[in-house]
């Protein structure tokens, strides 16, 4: 059984992981250094990128001949 292909190319997937890690690290650092709540934006970006990575994982694990739902 073949696995399905994901939404992201391998290069895009690596960049998505890099973006997730950078945004996830930047959020608590900026929360400590900045008095306002602008760190929440970094947290939201990290969560959105994580959602794309999870969707890509699910598409890759689905068999190639399975119908998309």
Question: Of residues 22 and 62, which shows the higher confidence score?
Answer: 22
- Within a domain: 67: no
- Within a domain: 2: no
Residue range 7-25: average pLDDT?
93
- Within a domain: 5: no
| Residues 4, 60 contacting (CB under 8 angstroms) | yes
- Within a domain: 15: yes
Predicted confidence at residue 47, as pLDDT, reads 95
| Residues 23, 42 contacting (CB under 8 angstroms) | yes
Predicted confidence at residue 52, as pLDDT, reads 95
- Within a domain: 69: no
Strand partners, 39: none
Residue-range definition of the domain harbouring residue 20: 10-61
- Within a domain: 19: yes
- Within a domain: 52: yes
| Residues 62, 2 contacting (CB under 8 angstroms) | no
Separation CA 27–CA 38 (nearest Å): 9
- Domains in the chain, number: 1
pLDDT band at 16 (very low <50, low <70, confident <90, very high): very high
Helices (H) and strands (E) in the chain, counts: 2, 0
């Amino acid at each position: 059984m073949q696995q399905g292909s994901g939404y992201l190319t391998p290069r895009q997937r690596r960049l998505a992981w890099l973006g997730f890690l950078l945004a996830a690290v930047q959020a608590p650092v900026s929360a400590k250094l900045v008095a306002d709540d602008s760190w929440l934006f970094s947290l939201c970006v990290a969560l959105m990128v994580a959602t794309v990575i999870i969707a890509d994982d699910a598409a890759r694990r689905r068999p190639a001949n399975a119908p998309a739902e």
